[in-house]
Structure 1
Amino acid sequence: MSTTILKIIALITMIIDHIGLYIPNTSEYLRYIGRISAPIFLFCSVIGYINTHNKKKYLFRIYIFSIFMGFIDAVILVNANYIRTIFITLIII
């Protein structure tokens, strides 16, 4: 299975999770389905890091995106920057 298919699966499960989050009186099972999206995206990020030709450039792009998402999270008063988690994971690798 390619990472493109995995990303599509993660995207669909994330949309299902957000439907369960933002639409009132929906089943809690929608939230359970969506929980698989974060590990899939993290796995795809690690595979992308391993297969990239320029690891510093890859890390720099993830870092810039995490800063951008941090500003957005601060504006909407949410403390859940998952891109920062991906960046830290890639630094550890």
Structure 2
Amino acid sequence: MNEQVNQPQVPPPNYLVFAILTTIFCGKIFGIVAIVFAAQVNSYWNAGNYEAALSASRNAKLWAWVSFAAGMAWLILGIILSIFGVLAGLMQGAFNF
């Protein structure tokens, strides 16, 4: 008997744009990992390895979000440290108003 494998018709999203944007604006290291996984999605899909394509898609999304979170954490930390620096300067009279 000729059995046909049930394959999905639409490839999973590769999240390449999301990965590139988070690499540029947020976290470089985590963003590069996301780009690598995003680049693998279509290759796996075209090779017929659907499970690997889905896994690479999930990993690309995960690492892009990790990169975004790391960028936001650094931004928030920078804002908090800037506020404390200004307050410390005000307390010591460094600013003459």
* TM-score of the two chains, using structure 1 as the length reference: 0.43
Q: Which has the larger radius of gyration?
A: 2
